[in-house]
Structure 1
Amino acid sequence: MLVGDIPRLNARRYPTKPAVISGGTTLTWAAVNERANRLGTALRASGLRTGDRVAICARNTAEWPEIVFGLAKAGLVAVPVNIRLSAPEIAHVLTDSGARAGIVHSDQAALAGEVFTEHLELVLQLGGGEVGKEYEAALASSTDTDPTPPTLTHDDVQFILYTSGTTGLPKGVVQLHRGMVAQALDTSIVTEAVHSDVTLGTTPCFTAGGMVRTVAALFLGQTLVLHPRFDPEAVVAEIERSRVTMTTFIPTMLMRTLKVLENDPSRDVSSLRRISYGSAPVPPGLAQEAMARLGCDLQQRYGATEAGGQATILTPADHRAAVAGDEGLLASCGRETPMAEIRIVGEDGADLPVGETGEIVIRSDMVAAGYWNKPEATAETFRPTGLWSGDLGRLDERGYLYIAGRKTDMIISGGFNVYPAEIERVIAQHPAVDLVTVVGIPDPEWGETPVAVVVGKGAPDPGLEESLRVHCRGNLAGYKQPRRFEFRDELPLGPAGKILKREVRAALLAPAGR
């Protein structure tokens, strides 16, 4: 089965059933399949061929699923672009992926549109025509013909998703049709999905989770409701209006939604049956309140872009056990899913005993094929023994996985992965900076937040902080901006001259006066 088969088969089974709802637009399964055919046919007619990359820069919108399916049908490779990226970051994604065409939303046209037209042969624009051919016009002039090449197989690439890397430049994670279909099947099993489910998506479609959701939440012919951004009042209203059965939150979203219900207990969210969350554990009190006030089950999942999405699940039964007294379960991220195998290994690759901390290695059909045009990084991470995740963890005697930390210095802020090396690379380019390191510190709202510690050149400059903020705003996505700048005369260095990040972070967290 190929990803493009999903709309085709569901259009046969449920032609008049709503498939996508967004911003007042409702598309049936027959409409999604036809529009995906028209898009794929139009792009093939423009000269694109199997394996060509097509960049997508758009907020959550009704067209997202048909774009994903249309590209998959045509054997084209989707390259989602984070709408928060700066122009230089977008340019890197386009040039590194070798994208030939792009689809950009009018909301992103002011910034991304200029970069797209500079680097790409063909640009389609959603909601306008200032920077490319109008999307609807392209579909109208095309035909409802299935564009799937006869040679396309499940080992062909379906999308390349750029994830921040410790080298300071994002790497493209290559996912195959095989992996995404496996992920959809695995997700359907662990969420006990049925075709009557209505899933609300408020997290971005351009992330790994968003790409998985687009395929998995529609795999069985379900309905996907998309919001352009998270708004707790809008979420509760949508649950009532569309009788939403499933959604995904980060803990901050969960807390804000519960606040709406606390202020108005009469709101009807009885249709909800399950909420999935990630990025951080929830405390027992919050889990208990959520289950009581929302009247639904909770589940947590752990995974990575390279893993194709999820690899473990902390099930609703686990949450109920935790609320009943087994609170330690909420510190874990659950046990491996039916289609994943998790090992904890030492530096030599040998399995470690239960309870010992080591690197998490994942084996699964869902694991990505490697990094785009990076054979050395691929060989290091995607090994014959499995995906070496770079995360540290331990398994208990019941098989529950506990994350102990990260071998990399990744910061998770508001559910987004932020790698210090990316921020350091940009700050180090400032002419007044001699040395810089970025570390994550706990934040009550966002989980973690990046702090830049800078050694300047020459005499102290009171205007340097504002100059660095302006520099970062021009070169980094909003969620990657350092929330604080600290200035030092020197930074702690190890014997090889490497900045000792652990000492820097400890100093920032130390009580004043110590």
Structure 2
Amino acid sequence: MNLFNNLCEYLDFHATNRGDVMMSSDANSSLSYREARDYVQRIAAALQSSGIAKGDRVGILAKNSVDNFCVFLACARIGAVAVGLNYRLSVDELNFIASDANIKLLCFDSEFDELRGEYLQGKPGVCIDGDIAGTASLAAWLEGAGTFNDVAVTADDTLFHMYTSGTTGRPKGVLISHGNVLINCYQAPLSSGVWSRVGERALVIAPNFHAVGLVGSLMGVIYGSSLVIHRDYDPVGMIETLANERINVVAVIPVMLQFSMMMVPNIKDYDFSHLHTINYGASPIPESLLKECMDTFGCDFVQGYGQTEATMALAFLTAEDHRRALASEPELLRSCGRAVAGTDIKIVDDAGQEVPRGEIGEIVARGPQIMQGYWNNDEATAKTVVDGWLHTGDAGLMDERGYLFIKDRVKDMIISGGENIYPVEIENHLMAHPQIDDAAVIGIPDEKWGEVPLAVLVSGENPPLSEGELEAYCRGKLAGFKIPSKLEYIPGLPRNPSGKILKKDLRQLFADKYGF
């Protein structure tokens, strides 16, 4: 049972009891909780005046902003379902998602006008940040909208409809309820030990079409904290805001920290005394980077593991775990922690049977934050959630203490001469080399072994390694069959918004050369 039935009841509570506290701000505007409640109600009225009813899908194709977030909250207010659209996708990809979701209204930033494909061009649109010929601006759309009609919204009603990143095949629409979010926002602080506080300032960088950015922002509303919203990730801007805006907590991916440390040579001159926690996810953090960041920022670090189908969080590696790792157990930094409260995690084989501790298999999880299912795709839902257990598609192992270690995506596993190779193990070793800025490993066809590893590297300003030098570096540290047989350099690895490497894009890039 939840304290409240839906997300917006928390907004109302804070507006009534601490209305002057800032809810959110960006480069252009700032709203207190009272102002935000009133603004959200105006947008809700405009949605209803435009014919949007409970259960209807509203697309949001926009970068992070106060207006973007308030449009989302207004959808929640009337039981409509927001569909955050990834503006990094192509017109065809967005057209598929928009039509699949049956979006009835699109709210978008002017810079993404050209991303409106055939389907969205045929639907009403509202320009959030400006004026476009033939499309109402947000301000004009709100004029004369009247008063919104209150709608009964329960914990079981869908809050948002978010598409998977599509690392394999077509993206699927994940349905997350109000209850899923509320429960996960209770589980996360209880398990991580990091609680949002009234008025505490959180920096929002991750995009709101991604679970970390959206659910992290919603957690701020639930607990009454203040969101400082960045439109984009900027390595220097992040550091300046952390210091100058007295930020208390921020969620990042490790590569963001790496870039910021590189781009701000005088970073130790900044005052980070207000910062108490950096949350990170999508990948482990190298021990050398963690030590450098802890020395620079002087705060706690917490790693989260989850996926869209689990609302946000399934496990956490706590601040205490990080301190213990640096003191005496460095292997813990390869772990993503232990299951959040109220969640069971186990490792299973291909037959769905639990394997002994320490053995690799697929990670499956069961808990109240697991999705309602995939939109209009009962077959995929039945394959993904079996007897209440979410099959994550991640390969991993669990040690005797319950710590979870991600080895790779099941579908990214390389089988070479009958041996299973998990690319992440090789990538972690490669990333420790001082001349390698970034690394990914994929399998390529081989007549003798079936598949062999290909290392795709980014050297940055460092001189590139030869294949011989790479082999020498790996020899003795990795089993012979795990040493990359081929080596390629590219300017940067393709990643999705959560920071995960898009292995399918790498395969496409080298398909002709290696005969995929």
* Alpha-carbon distance between aligned partners in 2 of 1:117 and 1:353, rounded to the nearest angstrom: 50
Q: Deviations over 1:116-166 (max 9, x none)?
A: 65232x211112231521112222322354x4413x211111111111346
Alignment deviations for residues 242-283 of structure 1 (CA, whole Å, 9 cap, x no partner): 210000111111123334565242211111000011111112
- The structural deviation recorded for 1:483 is 9.6
1:345-374 CA-partner distances (Å, limit 9, x unpaired): 222322221111111111111111111111
The residue number in structure 2 matching 1:349 is: 352
Cα distance in 1 for residues equivalent to 2:302 and 2:278: 6
Cα distance in 1 between the residues matched to 2:345 and 2:122: 41
1:207-356 pair list within 5 angstroms: 207-259=210-262, 262-356=265-359
Q: 1:49 to 1:445 in 2, by over 3 A?
A: farther
The CA distance in 2 between the partners of 1:489 and 1:186, in whole Å, is 47
- The equivalent residue for 2:477 is none
Between the aligned partners of 1:332 and 1:201, the Cα distance in structure 2 is 25
Q: Which deviates more, 292-301 or 62-71?
A: 62-71
The structure-2 alpha-carbon separation of the partners of 1:200 and 1:399, relative to structure 1 and needing over 3 Å to count, comes to same
Is 1:162 the equivalent of 2:163? yes
SS at match of 1:408: helix
Q: Give how far 1:106 is off.
A: 1.3
Per-residue deviation, 1:43: 1.1
Partner SS state of residue 193, structure 1: coil
**Residue number in structure 2 paired with 1:181:** 182
Q: Distance in 2 between matches of 1:171 and 1:28?
A: 36
- The residue number in structure 1 matching 2:31 is 27
Aligned partner (choices 122, 127, 130) of residue 128 of structure 1? 130
Q: Counterpart in 2 of 1:471?
A: none
| 1:352-501 superposed matches below 5 A | 352-409=355-412, 441-444=455-458, 485-486=509-510, 488=512, 491=515
Q: Which amino acid aligns with 1:87?
A: V
Superposition deviation, residue 11 in structure 1: 0.8
Q: Residue type matched to 1:28 in 2? A: S
Match of 1:86 among 80, 87, 90: 90
Separation in structure 2 between the aligned mates of residue 371 and residue 244 of structure 1, nearest angstrom: 36
Aligned-partner residue type, residue 219 of structure 1:
I
Q: Shift in Å at residue 490 of structure 1?
A: 7.1
Matched-pair contact (CA < 8 Å) for 1:18–1:27: yes
1:16 and 2:20 matched: yes
Question: 1:441: Cα distance to partner?
Answer: 4.8
Deviation for aligned residue 1:487: 6.2
Secondary structure in 2 matching 1:248: strand
Q: Report sequence identity in percent.
A: 31
TM-score (ref. length: structure 1): 0.79
Aligned amino acid, residue 316 of structure 2: I
CA distance in 2 between counterparts of 1:210 and 1:382 reads 24
Q: Is the 8 A contact 1:252 1:445 kept in 2?
A: no
1:458 corresponds in structure 2 to none
Query: Secondary structure at the residue paired with 2:325?
Result: helix
Inter-partner Cα distance in structure 1 for 2:21 and 2:230: 20
Gaps of 5+ in 1: 421-436, 447-477, 492-498, 500-514
Which residue number in structure 2 is paired with residue 469 of structure 1?
A: none
Whether the 8 Å CA contact 1:307–1:367 is kept in 2: the answer is: yes
SS at match of 2:232: coil
Q: Report the 3-state secondary structure (helix = DSSP H, G, I; strand = E; otherwise coil) of the residue aligned with 1:319.
A: helix
Tell me which residue corresponds to 2:107.
Answer: 103
CA contact (8 A) 2:205 2:213 kept: no
RMSD: 2.7
Q: Secondary structure at the match of 1:402?
A: strand
Give the structure-2-normalised TM-score.
Answer: 0.79
Q: Which residue of 1 aligns with 2:486?
A: none
CA shift at 1:101, angstroms? 0.9
Alignment length (residue pairs): 435
Q: In the TM superposition, what whole-angstrom CA distance separates every residue of 1:86-141 from its partner, at most 9, and x where no partner exists?
A: 111111011101111110111212333x5565232x21111223152111222232
Mapped contact 2:81–2:159 kept (Cα < 8 A): yes
Please point out which of 61, 66, 73 is paired with 1:69: 73
Mapping of 1:114-125 within 5 angstroms? Answer: 115=118, 117-120=120-123, 122-125=124-127
**Cα shift at 1:175:** 0.7
Aligned in 2, Cα 1:236/1:315: closer, same or farther, shift over 3 Å? same
Provide Cα deviations, 1:280-302, integer angstroms capped at 9, x if missing partner. Answer: 11122221221121010001111
Note closer, same or farther for the CA distance 1:223–1:442 as it changes in structure 2 (3 Å cut).
Answer: farther
Q: 1:316 to 1:133 in 2, by over 3 A?
A: same
Q: Distance in 1 between matches of 2:61 and 2:170?
A: 19
- CA shift in 2, pair 1:385/1:235, >3 Å: same
The 3 A distance-change label for structure 1 pair 346 and 22 is same
The one-letter amino acid of 2:84's match is P
Matches of 2:273 and 2:307 in 1, distance apart?
Answer: 32
In 2, Cα distance between equivalents of 1:99 and 1:341:
35
Question: 1:486–1:385: structure 2 CA closer, same or farther, 3 Å change rule?
Answer: closer
440 and 176 in structure 1: CA distance in 2 versus 1, 3 angstrom threshold: farther
What per-residue deviation string (whole Å, max 9, x for no partner) do you get for residues 290-346 of structure 1? 112101000111101111111000000000001112101001000111132211122
Question: For the Cα contact (< 8 Å) 1:261–1:293, is it kept in 2?
Answer: no
- Judging changes above 3 Å, is the alpha-carbon distance between structure 1 residues 337 and 442 closer, same or farther for their aligned structure 2 residues? farther
Uncovered stretches (5+) of structure 2, i.e. residues with no partner: 414-422, 428-439, 443-450, 461-500
Distance 1:296 1:306 in 2: 30
Paired letter, 2:272? V
Aligned CA distance change for structure 1 residues 167 and 278 (closer, same or farther; 3 Å): closer
How far is the alpha carbon of 1:233 from its aligned partner?
A: 1.6
Instruction: Report the residue type matching 2:63 in the other structure.
Output: R
Which residue is equivalent to 2:145? 142
Q: Distance in 1 between matches of 2:459 and 2:99?
A: 35
Structure 1 CA distance for aligned equivalents of residues 334 and 514 of structure 2: 37
Q: Relative to 1, partners in 2 of residues 1:299 and 1:264: Cα closer, same or farther, differing over 3 Å? A: closer
Counterpart position of 2:485? none
Using the TM superposition, give the Cα deviation of residue 196 of structure 1 relative to its aligned residue in structure 2, in angstroms.
2.8
Letter aligned with residue 369 of structure 1: Q
Instruction: Give the aligned residue type for 1:182.
Output: I
Q: 1:69 to 1:485 in 2, by over 3 A?
A: closer
In structure 2, the CA distance between the partners of 1:214 and 1:140, relative to structure 1 (3 Å rule), is farther
2 CA distance for matches of 1:225 and 1:245?
10
Q: Distance in 2 between matches of 1:307 and 1:484?
A: 29
